[in-house]
Chains A and B, each alone.
Chain A
Amino acid sequence: MQSSTIRTAPSHFARALQCTSPGLIRCPRPCIVAKWLQSRNLTTATPAAQEAIPLRKHLKDEAKRKKADAKRDGNTASTKSGADPRLEKWELTVGIEIHAELNTACKLVSSAPAEVLETDNGGMANSRVAMFDAALPGTQPQFQVATLLPALRAAIAFGCEVQRKSGWDRKHYFHWDQPNGYQITQYYQPFAKDGCLVLDASDGVPALDMQGADRLRIGIKQIQMEQDTAKTTNVGSSTYHVDLNRAGVPLIEIITLPQIHSPQTAAAVVRKIQAVLKSVDSCVIGMELGGLRADVNVSVRERGTSGVGSSYSGVSGLGQRTEIKNLSSFKAVEDAIIAERDRQITVLEAGGVIEGETRGWTLGATETTRLRGKEGEVDYRYMPDADLPPLVIGQDLVKHLTSTLPTLPDQLQQDLQDEYNLSLKDAKTLIDLDNGDRLDFFLRTVHSVTAELSISSQAQIGKMVGNWVLHELGGLLTTHQRSWDDVRITADELRDILVCLHQKRITTRVAKQLLADLFQREPAPAARPCVEQLIETGNLRLRPLSEEEYRDLARRIMDESPEMVKAVREKGQKGKVMWFVGQMVRQGEEGTVEPEQARATIERLMGG
């Protein structure tokens, strides 16, 4: 029902407005409230537009960018804006604060569910709200112990010292997405301190930052648990819809030390943190779906000086820092830091002074916008929460979780490269794909193949199995547009194919055909022929040809296409030999011609 005094947008319009990308408020309003709203990132329509960039695409883009940079730097008459010479004088320092949603069933201090359940319309707005979340008078918080598990795992994964006793504090500010008027956080005594994150060049850290070492350690100052705020959507000029489902969902805030010195490293740090949190099942929703948000603190100083003498948590000699809030993608992190760094250098070179302010970044902008200056700084009046008892964490629990922690991505990657002889790119892809299911499949296959063939080291066949699992199966999945859940090929079937191939009982081409055949058939309850049966019925066994037969076949093909022969013999186009090999394989009987033999024969005939 429409009230005549309130001008609200009609519902279809509201839906269209909801689809605007986050951070973009339709009507820019200069008032301080609006700026502060933006700093709280209220227009949180689900950012469906942003998708996770697959690892291989990301690596390709990085390689392209590096090539373009190298080409540009190669030109002596560089038309670059002069950022490079400026960077020789000015040094950037970045500290990152990451807020990540914990993977829990309940909210932090109330018993409402934190996740959407299929039953009872869990997806509706304001359907998962406890009385404390709505701040009804007289309600009390109660710490939900299950939220401790993912938080502790995150702390252990980053090597933090888990504090036995930690406290809960209130951070007071008034806003409609915070019904209680304060957020419950751990300001004075966080539950985990002094961890570290290790990066290397393959994570995307530029060589300049590595400074000759093969690892870069970024210190993590602390990890603390806190509540999330409600979700608000902007509909119409100044009307907001509030959904309290998200109010009170547990978050962890990970604060790094200001030891990051380039925008690419900052983006790499955020990516690494997301990967580590996902691997220990702490935070499984990624940045692109809004489950992880980053705030960055940026400052510059002249190289060799100590800036304005600011310090943060033991790192001293820094310039005045500004904070950029609510960056919601890796690219945004990088671009915002670059824009802010350039702005600060420009101001300082012109003789100005950087003020400690809070700034915002929108996608596609060229400069950060000022949200709140020092005079608009909010006094949060931190005080210990009297309703919640201190958090006391038992050492036995920490020990148990440390011993049962899943393998971290770094270790996994190293193992795959060392024990199974995979390349770095393949190892990384295998770890990321399909939530680790494909890696599990790979490991199962390798182990069973090794057992079957009685080979001692797994490195010999690791690479072959890796290729088949990643590229062959991957290719089949994309051509038939199926997901990994519907792969239908069991590890045993793949083992049979690869064992036959390794023992040279079938050719590679036949093996691929078998794979494709099994891929198409109906899954398990239906009758699936085993690999042996398929080889028998299709007469696909390798019947090796004798030398005579190879030569006859080769000569026949050479007679059929004299121009190609001329190309190889006279023009010296050695590559065309493979064309002959292809022709031989195609024209020979299925499962008889081996490409290596064929190539040897052709080369002998050509040369002789």
Chain B
Amino acid sequence: MLPRSVQKWASGCTRSLQPRVCTRPFATSPPRRDAIERDANGHLDVGKLLSIPTWSVASLLTPKDQQTPTPEVSSKQLHHLLRLSALPPPKDTAEEAQMLSTLATQLHFVKEIQKVDTEGVEPLRSLRDETAQGEREAELGMEALRGALEQEEIRGTHHRRIRRKAGGRDGEEGEKWNPLRTAGRKRGRYFVVEGGKEG
């Protein structure tokens, strides 16, 4: 499950098909327009463009020198959390200090993610072609239903009624397999289930 912000960014990019640098909602530095160099013919040096990363997840972590405004996690809270998660308690104070600092950066990370504005953004359901072209291809109109419409006939001359012709099958011919072969318990052509209480 990708973060919603990434999905928004990605869909923003696919909507416009020209390659351009999109604004990144959680970037800590402005987009580096100087990185895009074109040679005399106007061609892009893709290798050079992609060699320097423009974003790193490290931007979400607390810089070492920055004072974190987040409330500290106390030692008592840490021990409680470790007990709830069935994790072993820290062996000594050094390990405890390390655990606390890791926890603080993790919490900072989550808070940064939560700052993203997801107003009006639908949660991602699956990775599909969300372009207008993709939607047009997925549309079920007269063409897609032509086969099914041909399987119908009109009955009657004055009082016309639609009747589906029996036997016409849209899907592939029935897979010839025996579902009962998978059954542990069966009786004749039925699966058998015991519905009583346990025990």
**Are A240 and B192 within 8 A (Cβ)?**
yes
- Chain B residues with CB below 8 A from A197, complex form: none
Convert A376-411 into 0s and 1s, putting 1 for each residue whose CB lies closer than 8 angstroms to a CB of B.
Answer: 000000001011011111111100100010110000
Q: Does B147 contact A (CB under 8 A)?
A: yes
Point out the residue from B151, B158, B182 that lies within 8 Å of A136, measured CB to CB.
B182
- Chain A residues with CB below 8 A from B191, complex form: 126, 176, 241-244
Of the 9-residue stretches A140-148, A572-580, A593-601, which lies at the interface with chain B? Answer: A140-148
- Chain A residues with CB below 8 A from B180, complex form: 126
Of the 9-residue stretches B55-63, B102-110, B163-171, which lies at the interface with chain A? Answer: B163-171
Q: Does B53 contact A (CB under 8 A)?
A: no
Q: Does B92 contact A (CB under 8 A)?
A: no
Q: Which residues of A in the span 234-248 have a Cβ within 8 Å of any Cβ on B?
A: 237-244
Point out the residue from A103, A145, A407 that lies within 8 Å of B145, measured CB to CB.
A145
Which of chain A's residues has its CB closest to B148's CB?
Answer: A146
- Chain A residues with CB below 8 A from B144, complex form: 145, 394
Q: Which residues of A in the span 532-564 have a Cβ within 8 Å of any Cβ on B?
A: none
- Chain A residues with CB below 8 A from B156, complex form: 436-437, 440
Convert B124-144 into 0s and 1s, putting 1 for each residue whose CB lies closer than 8 angstroms to a CB of A.
Answer: 011010000001001111101
Point out the residue from A106, A125, A439 that lies within 8 Å of B171, measured CB to CB.
A106
**Are B140 and A406 within 8 A (Cβ)?**
no
**Chain B: minimal CB distance from A243 (Å):** 6
Tell me whether A126 and B140 are in contact in the complex, defined as CB-CB below 8 angstroms, given that A111-B172, A384-B125 are known contacts: no
- Chain B residues with CB below 8 A from A243, complex form: 189-191
- Give Cα distance in the complex from A372 to B160, angstroms: 47
Convert B76-108 into 0s and 1s, putting 1 for each residue whose CB lies closer than 8 angstroms to a CB of A.
Answer: 000000000000000000000000000000000
Point out the residue from B139, B175, B190 that lies within 8 Å of A394, measured CB to CB.
B139
Q: Does A19 contact B (CB under 8 A)?
A: no
B interface residues, how many (CB within 8 angstroms): 51
**Are A131 and B177 within 8 A (Cβ)?**
yes
Of the 9-residue stretches A51-59, A112-120, A339-347, A351-359, which lies at the interface with chain B? Answer: A112-120
| Number of A-B contacts defined by CB within 8 Å | 169
Tell me whether A392 and B193 are in contact in the complex, defined as CB-CB below 8 angstroms, given that A112-B174, A144-B170 are known contacts: no
Q: Does A134 contact B (CB under 8 A)?
A: yes
**Are A391 and B140 within 8 A (Cβ)?**
yes
Point out the residue from B128, B147, B171, B188 that lies within 8 Å of A111, measured CB to CB.
B171
**Are A406 and B192 within 8 A (Cβ)?**
no
**14 extra interface residue pairs, beta carbon distance < 8 Å, beyond A145-B144, A242-B193:** A33-B195, A33-B197, A105-B169, A115-B166, A131-B177, A146-B151, A149-B145, A243-B190, A281-B161, A389-B128, A396-B142, A439-B159, A440-B159, A443-B158
22 inter-chain pairs at a CB distance below 8 angstroms, sorted by A residue, are A8-B187, A34-B195, A105-B170, A106-B171, A110-B171, A113-B174, A125-B189, A126-B189, A130-B174, A149-B145, A149-B149, A167-B125, A238-B195, A239-B192, A240-B194, A242-B192, A243-B189, A281-B162, A394-B142, A394-B144, A396-B142, A397-B145
A-B pairs with lowest CB-CB distance, top 10? A394-B141, A111-B171, A443-B158, A238-B196, A241-B190, A146-B148, A440-B156, A125-B189, A146-B170, A440-B159
